[in-house]
């Protein structure tokens, strides 16, 4: 497998926002789907969106979070978490 094949496989593994919305909300042509909120990081990158689907008798909203290696998911990426070390306490 060459580097071009590896790049294509990585792109295929990442889920686009459109694919994620279709998977989770099952939108059809009779329903309206729209992005109602966009949240950005301090650097300006989009990190999450709220998508709302409106049908005849109901509406449903869902948050999607961007993962650089996997695309759009319904759970936030693992981030650096605060830690406490014994060395700090001993000082």
Within 1-91, residue ranges assigned H as helices are 3-13, 17-25, 86-90
Q: How far apart are CA 32 and CA 77, in angstroms?
A: 28
pLDDT band at 36 (very low <50, low <70, confident <90, very high): very high
pLDDT tens string 72-89:
999 888 775 556 677 656
Buried b or exposed e, range 56-87, using 16+ CB within 10 angstroms? eeeeeeeebbbbeeebbeeeeeeeeeeeeeee
pTM of the predicted protein model: 0.67
Q: Which residue has the higher pLDDT, 52 or 58?
A: 52
């Amino acid at each position: 497998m060459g580097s071009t094949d590896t790049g294509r496989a990585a792109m295929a593994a990442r889920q686009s926002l459109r694919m994620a919305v279709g998977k989770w909300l099952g939108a059809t042509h009779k329903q309206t789907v729209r992005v109602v909120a966009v949240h950005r990081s301090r650097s300006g990158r989009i990190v999450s969106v709220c998508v709302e689907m409106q049908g005849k008798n109901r509406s449903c909203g869902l948050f999607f979070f961007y993962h650089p290696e996997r695309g759009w998911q319904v759970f936030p990426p693992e981030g650096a978490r605060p830690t406490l070390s014994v060395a700090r306490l001993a000082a």
